[in-house]
Amino acid sequence: MSATSETAPPAKGAGPERASSFSLDVERQTVPGAFRAYIGKLRSGDPGALPSIMGLVVLVIIFAQVSDRFLSKNNIGNLPGQGAYIAVIGMGLVFVLLLGEIDLSAGTTGGMCAAFAARAVFSGDLHGVFPGFLYWSLLVFMVAAIALAVWLKAWSGAVVVTIGVVLIATGLVDNNVTLAIVGAVTLGAAVGVVTGFLVAKVGIPSFIVTLALFLAWQGVLLFVLNSQPIGTTNYTLWYNLANANLSVFWSWVFTIVVVAGYLAFTLWKSISAQRAGLAHDALSLVLLRGGVIAAVGLVVTYLACQNRNTNPYLVIAGIPWAAVIAISIMIVCTLALTKTTWGRHLYATGGNAEAARRAGIDVEHIKVTAFVLCSSFGAFGGILLASTSHSVSLDLGAGNILLFSVAAAVIGGTSLFGGRGKPRDAVLGALVIVIIPNGLGLKPNLGVQYQQVITGVVLLAAAAVDAISRKRSQRT
């Protein structure tokens, strides 16, 4: 080609205007646009929480026909206390399921940690009542967990476990329910560090590691209780976790704070993105979402603040503590997953661990922290379960507890294959799980076998939806 030949004209649409329009995503999401985007998600195989919401509606309709007591204020008010432990353990499992892993020991971890807390409060001298090998084994285990956390750069886990070591070594957990509960959660964090180390660093499949720990912690539970259950009804704080309610005044305060906080946060996010020239939600969309949440919150709070007791001389009113705990934890976990670098790295690792590693994400650190959170939530879930059942029994956390918690997360919309899920999934799924025995219990002639069959069918349906959704998303 000669030097005098003409330069080829630029391709159509390849000029400066096209380049500048591609430089930033400045889309303004409106209400119709959000609706079309949601329909697109459904078509691409991401149903989100829709199946669990539909399941809730169907179950409510069925059980409302089975018994006229199902929709009574007293029965509905009991649901949070009956299912809060499932929601909390399930939220912890969401972190692990997002990675495509599993923790079969979350339930028994909760039982074992609750047993340590109960023994510390009941005996008043954890060091004196335990055999020497058990007490020192506990401290050595937690100190080893601190060392592993530091080595794996899980700094938050190291700090939490260190707090537990100080509380136990100084005897501050003795005769103090609040500090005993904190100590139980720190012990759960130590379990998570060790579990995460064995899975992420040693390379043992999470199924095998947590199955072994599932069995081991049941034995430790018997050691701690000395084969004698410990009641929790005499400890006011512990009992109130699953059985008490906020006052009417504080119920309204809680609802107003949650609704106002959501509106303020979403408005700030939309305005900040608009000023930065980035994609943002239109004001109409923000206000619509906030209005829906406000309407639901106000209606639920109004109903919760009515007297639920059939005895007019004894008033039971207010939002249950269990509901407040579950909602508060869900909000914090949602912010951690969606608004922090760690949360984005967790989703990336669950979507494709190798791609995340090549992108510079410390995959081992992410896995360890996920297991730390899962076991910590399992420990607090065990505390809630002991409050619900009024005692730390010899099989606390065993049996169907783990199955129900995993089922809650999956039914709510968390994928078993990793990369997709939200903390709200565990809360919605827990509602589905707890409604089944609650509704069947109002019909005495229906045996427990119905509960097992219906729960199994619901879980199977949720897993089928998850598998089908995954296949559809891979084809698009």
**pLDDT one-digit tens code per residue, 105-122:** 999 999 999 999 999 998
257 and 268 Cβ atoms separated by less than 8 Å: no
- What confidence score (pLDDT) does residue 243 get? 93
Which DSSP string corresponds to 268-290?
HHHHHHHHTT--EE-HHHHHHHH
**Adjacent-strand bridge partners of 281:** 29
User: Which residue do the tokens 């609040």 mark?
Assistant: 178
Please enumerate in sequence order all residues whose Cβ is within 8 A of that of 365, keeping only pairs 6 or more positions apart, or say none.
Answer: 152, 153, 154, 200
Structure tokens at 7: 């330069």
Categorize the per-residue pLDDT at 448 as very low, low, confident or very high, splitting at 50, 70 and 90: low
pLDDT digit string, tens, across residues 316-330: 899 999 999 999 999
99 and 365 Cβ atoms separated by less than 8 Å: no
Fold classification of 50-59+66-244+320-468 is: ABC transporter involved in vitamin B12 uptake, BtuC (1.10.3470)
Residue 469: pLDDT over 50: yes
Which letter does DSSP use for residue 245 in this model?
A: B
pLDDT digit string, tens, across residues 364-420: 999 999 999 999 999 999 999 999 999 999 999 888 888 889 888 988 888 888 888
Burial of 56 (0-12, 13-18, 19+ CB in 10 A): middle
Chain centroid to CA 327: how far? 10
Residue 273 has phi, psi (to 5 degrees) of: -65, -40
Report domain extents, the chain. Answer: 50-59+66-244+320-468
Structure tokens at 106: 């979350």
344 and 334 Cβ atoms separated by less than 8 Å: no
Nearest C-alpha neighbor of 368 from the set 151, 114, 137: 151
DSSP run (H or E) holding 231: strand 230-231
pTM for this predicted structure? 0.89
Task: Calculate mean pLDDT across residues 212-239.
Answer: 92
**Adjacent-strand bridge partners of 280:** 28
Categorize the per-residue pLDDT at 5 as very low, low, confident or very high, splitting at 50, 70 and 90: very low
Torsion of CA 339, 286, 51, 89, to 10 degrees: 40
